[in-house]
Amino acid sequence: RLPYMLAEWVVSLPYSPVGILSAILILYVPLGMVMDAISMLVLTLPIFFPIILKLGFDPIWFGILIVVLTELALITPPVGMNVYVLKGVTDLPIEGIFRGIIPFAIADVAVLIVLVCFPKITLYLPGLMALMK
């Protein structure tokens, strides 16, 4: 019940839906830097999902945004779980691995921006599947 009350309160704020979505997405970045992905999702999705629904955003679109953010979280320092997995497989220094992921992190941020600006990209295939019913 509390997440739905929070959603009502957030919708009543004088901010645009895109501004609220941006704040939610920006909040995931520092969370991903200190938490593993599953913990981050389990703690935040029950709170943010009702807000996203109340703002009128598509839940499939939001789910895909969260997957992209989780990918980004799995390679960003200091936790960067995938980086530590790679460190266990190779003899490369951890600093070199973190420097190597910079282009991938930049690409993930660019993909995220494109997906936020053009939600139809993420909803194209689910839309086709709905037509096949």
Taking only the tens of pLDDT, the chain with its 133 residues reads: 888 899 999 989 999 999 999 999 999 888 888 888 899 999 999 999 999 999 999 999 999 999 999 888 888 888 788 888 888 998 899 889 889 999 999 999 999 999 999 999 999 988 888 888 7
Q: Helix, strand, or coil here: 19?
A: helix
Q: How far apart, in whole angstroms, are the C-alpha atoms of residue 75 and residue 6?
A: 31
44 neighbors 28 (Cβ within 8 angstroms): yes
pLDDT score for 74: 85
pLDDT score for 50: 94
Task: Please name which of 72, 76, 80 lies closest in space to residue 109, comparing C-alpha atoms.
Answer: 72
Q: How far apart, in whole angstroms, are the C-alpha atoms of residue 126 and residue 113?
A: 20
